Amino acid sequence: MLHLSLKKRLEGFSIDVELALDEELLVLFGPSGAGKTMILKMVSGIVKPDSGRVAAGGETLFDSITGVDIPMRQRKVGYLFQDYALFPHMTVAGNISYGIEGRGKDFMKKKVAELVSLMRLTGLEERYPDELSGGQKQRTALARTLAAEPRVLLLDEPFSALDYQVREKLRADLLNIHRMYPITTVLVTHDLEEAFMLGKRVAVINNGLIEQLGSQEDVFYRPGTRNVARFMGVRNIFSGIVAGFDGQHVMIDNPDIGVIKAPVLPGRQFAPGSEVTFCIRPEEILVIRPDKVLGKVQDNILECEIVGTVGRGSTHILYLEAGEGRTPIKAELPNFVLRKLELAVGRSIRVSLKRENIWVIP
C-alpha cells in the first residue's frame, strides 16, 4: 500500500497530488515538465516536499506535521533511474547482490540466481556494465532494485533510451515481473503506447495536478477534460452547442461539420444551448465504401477530402478535411483497407464518426 499527499512549489507551477495505491501498477502519464519525476523523487526521499505525507506498508515515511522524514536508504522504496546507475566496477552478479543486505551467503547466491533467471541474464553474470547492451543493463538495474525487496517500486521512464523492439520486450517482462512480485509500482512515462500497454490504472499529470485518475479504459476512451483527450491521442476534438437531448443521445451542432449525434451516460444532463466538447479516437472513424448503400450507418456522415497519408507500420493515418471550413479530421485504418479502397491524397470520401464511440465532455 502507498498513500501520498504531496505539495511542492516549483518554478512556474506547483505540485499538489493525492494518491492511494494497493499492490498495483500505476502509470503516471503526461507531458514533459508536468511534475511526474518530481513526484517519484518526493516519494523516494530524494527531494523533500514542502508539505504533505507519504506512507507505505502502514509505515509513515514522511509527514510534514509530525516531522517524520525517514532517510531514503531506510524507506525500502526501489527507484529505477533513466540511466540505470549501475556500478561500473561490479559484474552483473555483483550489482544484483549489492541490493541484498543482512542475509547469509547461501540466501544471496540463491536470490541472485533467481533474479538472473527471471531477467534473462543467464550467462552474463560475470560481465561488467560496459559489456552489456542497453536492454541487458536495464534488466540488471531492475534485478538489483528487486533484490532489495522494496515495498514500493518507482520506475522513471525506464525504457526511454532503448530501441523499439527492446522496449516492447521489456514492457512484457515488466508485466510478468509484476505478476510474480506484486509490489506497489509507479511508472512514469510520456509514451502513449507504453501507458496503454502497462497502465491498468493511469493518472494523467498536468502542471503538477492530477487531471484524471482512472482505469485504462476510462482515461483513454472517456477523457474527463479536453487536455486529457489531447494527451491520450484522441486528436479529433471538437466544440459545439447542444441542439437537443432525448435522455440517451445528445445532438451537438458544430458550425462546420453539422449536427453530430452522440450517446451519453445515464444521469448526465445536457441543457439545450450549452457548449460542450466531443471527441473520437482516429481508429474509431469508419471510412465508408463508395459503393455502399447506407443501412445502419446513417448518423454522423461527413464528406471529406484526403489531404495527406502517413504509414505507421500495419496502419495508415489519413489526414482529412471536412466542411466549408475544412475542419481537420484524423483517421487511422489498417493498410489493407487503404489498398482495397484505393485511398490517396486528393480523393473525396465519406466517413462516419461512429456514434457509439463519440465521447462528450461537458
Question: Using 50, 70 and 90 to split pLDDT, how confident is the model at 294?
Answer: low
Express each pLDDT in 126-164 by its tens digit.
Answer: 999 999 998 899 899 999 999 989 999 999 988 887 888
Rounded to whole angstroms, how far apart are CA atoms 134 and 258? 52
- Chain mean pLDDT for the chain: 91
Please, are residues 43 and 186 in contact by the beta-carbon 8 Å criterion? yes
Per-residue pLDDT at 296 exceeds 70: no
Distance of CA 219 to the CA centre of its chain: 9
pLDDT in tens, 297-329: 578 999 999 999 999 889 999 999 998 889 999
What pLDDT shows up at residue 207? 93
Q: Are strands 209-215 and 59-63 parallel, antiparallel or unpaired?
A: unpaired
| All structural domains of the chain with their residue ranges | 2-230, 234-361
Can you list the positions of beta strands (E) in 264-314? Answer: 275-280, 285-288, 301-312
β-bridge partners, 172: none
Exposed e or buried b per residue across 60-80, where buried means at least 16 C-beta atoms within 10 angstroms of its C-beta? ebbbbeeeeebeeeebebbbb
pLDDT more than 70, % of the chain: 98
> With bands split at pLDDT 50, 70 and 90, how would you rate the model's confidence at 124?
very high
CATH superfamily of 2-230: P-loop containing nucleotide triphosphate hydrolases (3.40.50.300)
Query: Across residues 201-219, what is the average pLDDT?
Result: 95
What average pLDDT score do residues 216-222 get? 92
Directed axis angle between helix 164-180 and helix 134-147, to 10°?
Answer: 20
pLDDT surpassing 90 at residue 165: no
Predicted confidence at residue 295, as pLDDT, reads: 59
201 pLDDT more than 70: yes
pLDDT of residue 140: 93
Does 270 have pLDDT greater than 90? no
Please check whether the two domains, 2-230 and 234-361, share a CATH topology.
no
Kindly indicate the confidence band of residue 291, based on its pLDDT and cuts at 50, 70 and 90.
confident
Q: What is the pLDDT of residue 252?
A: 95
Pick the CATH number of 234-361 from 1.10.10.1100, 2.40.50.100, 3.20.20.110, 1.20.1440.120: 2.40.50.100
Give pLDDT, residue 269: 81
